[in-house]
Structure 1
Amino acid sequence: MPSTPADVVAVAVTYRPDEAAIGEVLGRAAAQVRALVVLDNATPDADGAHWTERIRLPDGVDVERSATNAGLGAAYNRAAAIAGERGARFVLLLDQDSLLEPGCVDALLRHADLRAARGPLGAVGPTFVDARSGETAPFVRFGFPLNRKFDAPAGGDVDVDFLISSGSLIPLEALDAAGPFDEGLFIDSVDMEWCFRAKRAGLQLVGVADARMLHTIGDELVELPGGATMFVHSPLRLYMMTRNRVALWRRRGTPGIWTAQDVPRMLLKLARMTAFAAPRIPNARAMLRGARDGWRGRQGPPPAARR
């Protein structure tokens, strides 16, 4: 029997969302699945009310508020638990800035069924378009000296080594096979690390051409000499990104080919963030501190969030 939206519970993880945009994000998702739950990661109240009380939520959307910001890994694991409690076969993970195009979930389900007929499925993910630049992000297979990047053929899908978490449709049985998300990573590389384990468990990761999603990468875009552009993150995010990537380099289960191409990539990122992205000195310090802490195996929230 073909999978349908009735088999899907979507969980949108939020933290201080853009209140002007979150309503449409939730409305588009709710229209394509059986149920949608907002899992708010300890967004503080403002003007005496939580953001969910200041905007009009789509009908039937439930809100679960976490007392503490436990990070994305913990939120994704709670999302899977919510989907299981509601009798779903799939969980659809969503960030607060990810806007599904009409028919996105139907396309994901169609290709999930096609691929499940071939072998165990880890996840299917949409083609995503950066909401600011309009650039379509390619799918990725790991390679050396560079990763291989390509688009899925129109109407088709493609095997990949990595899917971003937002927009990923994951069979709950895949989480049993690959294990839960790593809560210690807190934010960045949570999806990367899970994809490593899914592939090791023999699960397929699949990118789908006709499932499309708008998604915002980074805090802003900076134009580089020669006309190229670069996605820029805050020093805090740069710390977390660097810490967790370096931590993954040291893990036994990390593919060596990924580490071999990621080391020079992170060195290039350090150079670019220091040369072209303000605030330059804080950026450099954040990345160097992240590299040190990642090498030492530090986990959990960033230092600023520790009590």
Structure 2
Amino acid sequence: MQVSLPARETSVASTDDARVVAVVVTHHPDPEGLRGMLRALVPQVHGTWIVDNGSGDCALESLMEEFRPEALRVHRLCENRGIAHAQNEGIRLAGGQGATHVLLMDQDSVPAPDMVQHLLQACGTLERVASVGPYYTDPRLPGHTPFLQVRGLRIRRRRCDGTGRVFEVDHVISSGCLIPLSAIKVVGDMREDLFIDAVDIEWGLRAMHHGLRNYGVCKATMHHSLGDASLKMFGRTVSRHSPVRLYYQFRNAILLCREPHVPLNWKVVYLRQMLLRYALYVWRVRPLRPHLAMIHAGVRDGIRGVTGAYRDTLRGG
């Protein structure tokens, strides 16, 4: 579905009674990269929480000197409990500040100066909104990453053409995702037992199951780094991930396919994509053994219904 928005200029502060609080999840961040991201983000929102996922002695406090205390705050977690737990903590903190909307951000994303403005405008114009997300680029991949929507047994890749379109999608990536707090009350929290990977996919599909909708907003743009490198196969470029990230990707794909709220056609397409990813790694990645070992462990644990952090799934050393 394609949606057209009225041409009007807004600002976060003057858009009805909306109050946007950003939640930035960090884990051993690069200080200079995070500083640049915050310089772009903080002026666009009413408040920002950094939820640090067990980085220990990471000197986040040094960043605070550039920003007013009411504009940027830090909440430290004693250990890495996964992105979903950190997001849920941040959403709770944002709600305590009177937020009407929460903007989820990763440490390796940089929003355009008007990203939040365009997301908020879309959120106030569209119907039954669960989430709205930006059109992003990864500097290591060619062009913008398209919005995705599964229809039948095909993936529709929706690309923006400069006309400011809005597409209904199955989900948006968590970084840059603007969510009304009212949608959280309907859909529920992010699923913490997934730990990392597919958390945004699961929440978006669960929102659709509850009758809400997710949208990709072409006017809202962002730079976002996805994965550790890139791989090419049959003319398509995909992100390359570490072995442990592959564990979570394959395990959580199996876990999602066990869920009744995930549509059957979506399960078929998702598993097909994971098989293609498996073939790509076998063909292109060296050394291969550690990657395959973690993929096989992920598939095994997904079938067994194992959840949580990888260290909790180790058996027999």
What TM-score comes out, normalization by structure 1 length? 0.92
How many matched pairs? 298
The answer to whether the aligner puts 1:201 opposite 2:210 as a matched pair is yes
Equivalent residues of 1:92, 1:170 under 8 A apart: yes
Return the match for 1:9 from 17, 21, 27.
21
Equivalent residues of 1:23, 1:57 under 8 A apart: no
Q: How far apart are 1:31 and its partner, in Å?
A: 1.2
The answer to whether the aligner puts 1:159 opposite 2:183 as a matched pair is no
1:279 counterpart residue number: 287
Going from structure 1 to structure 2, the CA distance change for 1:12 and 1:306 (only over 3 Å counts) comes to farther
Equivalent residues of 1:124, 1:207 under 8 A apart: yes
Q: How far apart are 1:222 and its partner, in Å?
A: 2.9
Q: How far apart are 1:55 and its partner, in Å?
A: 4.7
- Which 4+ residue blocks in structure 1 deviate beyond 6 angstroms? 304-307
Return the match for 1:98 from 91, 99, 109.
109
The answer to whether the aligner puts 1:23 opposite 2:32 as a matched pair is no
2:5 counterpart residue number: none
Q: How far apart are 1:202 and its partner, in Å?
A: 1.1
Please tell me the residue identity of whatever aligns with 1:297: G
Answer with 89-98 or 151-160: which moved more: 151-160
Return the match for 1:293 from 284, 301, 304.
301
Answer with 180-189 or 268-277: which moved more: 268-277
Unaligned runs of 5+ in 1: none
Please tell me the residue identity of whatever aligns with 1:131: P
Identical counterparts, % of pairs: 36
Query: Matched residues in 2 for 1:252 and 1:292: separation?
Result: 20
Mapping of residues 162-181 of structure 1, within 5 Å: 162-181=171-190
Q: How far apart are 1:131 and its partner, in Å?
A: 2.4
SS at match of 1:147: strand
Return the match for 1:136 from 125, 130, 144.
144
SS at match of 2:154: coil
Q: How far apart are 1:107 and its partner, in Å?
A: 0.4
Q: CA RMSD in A?
A: 2.0
Query: Matched residues in 2 for 1:301 and 1:245: separation?
Result: 15
The answer to whether the aligner puts 1:232 opposite 2:240 as a matched pair is yes
Deviations 1:141-199 (A, max 9, x none): 11343311112452221111111111000000000011111110010111111011111
Answer with 291-300 or 226-235: which moved more: 226-235
What TM-score comes out, normalization by structure 2 length? 0.89
Return the match for 2:82 from 50, 71, 86.
71
Query: Matched residues in 1 for 2:198 and 2:232: separation?
Result: 25
SS at match of 1:88: coil
Going from structure 1 to structure 2, the CA distance change for 1:55 and 1:87 (only over 3 Å counts) comes to closer
Q: How far apart are 1:271 and its partner, in Å?
A: 1.3
Query: Matched residues in 1 for 2:186 and 2:157: separation?
Result: 27
SS at match of 2:92: helix
Equivalent residues of 2:56, 2:78 under 8 A apart: no
Mapping of residues 77-92 of structure 1, within 5 Å: 77-92=88-103
Please tell me the residue identity of whatever aligns with 2:93: I
